[in-house]
């Protein structure tokens, strides 16, 4: 049996203050570089880095092109060791 429900208008939160996008999406934040590798193709070498994301475990880290990551997120590469 259905009962009449009286809503409490004081519990309604305006969505303008929260900052929800129309597409209901958000950008995942990169936390740190876990690993590096260089893959040798026939004519070139491709450097990749394994990126750890903010809301994921280490097992869910993804491989991304190092060149693209340096361009978009230079703060991840600030503490690199300089080869002698």
**Domains of the chain listed by start with CATH number:** 28-84 (2.40.50)
- Regarding pTM above 0.75, the answer is no
pLDDT tens digits along 32-83: 888 999 999 999 999 999 988 887 888 888 999 999 988 888 887 776 555 5
Beta bridge partners of 40: 45
Distances (CA, A) of 75 to 25, 58, 78, 79: 24, 20, 5, 8
């Amino acid at each position: 049996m259905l009962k009449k429900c009286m809503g409490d208008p004081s519990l309604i939160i305006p969505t303008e203050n929260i900052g929800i996008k129309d597409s209901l999406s958000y950008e995942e934040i990169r936390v740190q570089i876990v690993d590096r590798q260089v893959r040798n193709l026939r004519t070139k070498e491709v450097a990749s880095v394994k990126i750890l994301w903010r809301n994921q475990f280490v097992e869910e880290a993804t491989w991304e092109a190092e060149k693209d990551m340096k361009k978009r997120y230079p703060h991840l590469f600030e503490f690199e060791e300089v080869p002698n």
